[in-house]
Structures are given as structure tokens and as C-alpha cells.
Amino acid sequence: MQKRILVGAILLIGLGGLFAVKFNSPKPLELESGLLFPQAYEIAPFELVDQHKQPFTNANLQGKWSLFFIGFTFCPDVCPTTLNKLTAAYPELNQIAPLQVVFLSVDPKRDTPDKLLTYVNFFNPEFKAVTGEQTQIFPLTRSLGLAYAMVGEGDNYQVDHSAGYVLVSPQGTRVAVFKPTATLGKPPQVVNDKMINDFRKIVTYYKSSY
């Protein structure tokens, strides 16, 4: 009899622990313009070059937040709009936590480091502009959850590409994405105020979790 009582008590304690975990588990972080992934994702190893012809690898993602977006310098609308918006948002983002903005060109045939240097300097010389061989770029974009495709033939081809931003943690892992909002007559854009607020929430969350 005593043995049955003991077993029952152990079961009750175990169930109590399960309910405590279930009802006390932290709620998902609510973001206005983005999505925080339920777990951090490793980024595939890559070897690129930046606008100063310096290597840019996974090691360059350590110790600071990184905000990635992809595009190409011949982009007629989304890329210049994105760079303008990020230039406006960058001072406040960088006050929240050290952050590097990384423009990843998926058009290495036309976007040489010299071309990228001229292009990104027009918007913000502090931004990184990187590119490399397609054998490096394609696995990286897939690892970031971004996509692109060449459209058309000849020298005037275009590149269809994702318009969102991917946030990489100071540990070099993919942790969140900021999604663009479609507006009639305008290219899809991430709203700066919402993104800044979301970045503040994410940084605070990570400080308390790690």
C-alpha cells in the first residue's frame, strides 16, 4: 500500500512538472515586421570578397549583429530603395547594438568589387558590399533563406530576388527575418520604424537568453 502511494506521489510530481513547463514556457516574441525563428540556424561556410577586395567569411559575422539583403547594382528599384531606407535606419539600429549591414550581390558577372565600392559608397560607406563565385553565393543565399534567379538574356538581364532582410546573431547564426510590405505602385519595402522596434526586442531577448 505504501509503495502504491509513493508511486502515485511520484507520478503527480512528474505531471506537475510537465504542466509547469507547459504553462510557464516563454511566449513567442511578437514582432511587427519580422519573424524570430524558434531556433538559431547555422550558416553554411562561405568565402566572399568585399568592396575593398578583402576576404569576407563566416568569421566576419562574429561579435556583432549582421543584417543581410541580396540584390545587384543594376537593380532599378528594390535595391536603391532598400539602401536608402537602411541608410536612414542605420544610426538608430547601431545605437541599439553594434550592427553591420551586408549587401550581398548575386550578380558577380557585372558587380566587381570596384563597382560595389562606388555603388555602396553613394549610400553609406560603412556598409559592407560583398560578392563571389556563384558556387559560394548560391549555398549562402539558401542558408540565409533568400532566393534569386536570372531573368532575360544578353547583357541587359535582370535578377529577381528576395526583398526581405535576414538578421544574423553575433554568434554567426540566422535568427530572424524582416519581411517587406507591398504598397500599390511601389516596390515592396520593410518599414523602418517597425524594423527598428523589432530589432530592439530581439536584442533584449537575446541578452536575457544567452
Q: How much is the pLDDT for 59?
A: 97
Burial of 91 (0-12, 13-18, 19+ CB in 10 A): exposed
pLDDT for the residue 90? 97
Residue 136 domain flag: yes
Which residues span the domain enclosing 67? 29-209
| pLDDT tens digits, 181-192 | 877 767 778 889
The arithmetic mean of pLDDT across residues 56-63, rounded, is 97
How many domains are contained in the chain? 1
C-alpha cell at 48: 566572399
Please check the confidence at residue 2 and state whether its pLDDT lies above 50: no
pTM of the model as a whole: 0.83
Reply yes or no on whether the pLDDT at 18 is more than 50: no
Digit-coded pLDDT (tens) for 26-59 = 566 789 988 999 999 999 999 999 999 999 999 9
**Residue 166 within a domain:** yes
Binned at pLDDT 50, 70 and 90, residue 14 comes out as very low
Q: State residue 28's pLDDT score.
A: 66
Mean pLDDT value of segment 57-80: 94
**Residue 180 in this model has a pLDDT that exceeds 50:** yes
| Residue whose cell numbers read 559560394 | 136
Residue with cell 532598400: 82
Q: What is the mean pLDDT of residues 53-71?
A: 97
> By the 8 A CB rule, do 120 and 51 touch?
yes
161, part of any domain: yes
Determine contact, residues 169/202, Cβ cutoff 8 Å. no
2 within a domain of the structure (yes/no) = no
Which CATH number belongs to the domain containing residue 163 in this structure? 3.40.30.10
Which of 69-83, 126-140, 165-179 has the least mean pLDDT?
A: 69-83
Quote the pLDDT of residue 210: 61
CA distance 96 to 205: 13
Please check whether residue 7 lies inside any domain of the structure. Answer: no
Please determine, for residue 5, whether its predicted confidence score (pLDDT) is greater than 50: no
pLDDT value at 154 more than 80: no
Q: pLDDT tens digits, residue range 80-111?
A: 999 999 999 999 999 999 999 999 999 999 99
Looking at the DSSP bridge assignments, the partners of residue 66 are 100, 168
DSSP E strands in 54-196: the ranges are 55-57, 65-71, 99-105, 128-131, 148-151, 158-161, 165-168, 173-178, 181-183, 186-189
Using CA atoms, how far apart are residues 52 and 114, in angstroms rounded to an integer? Answer: 8
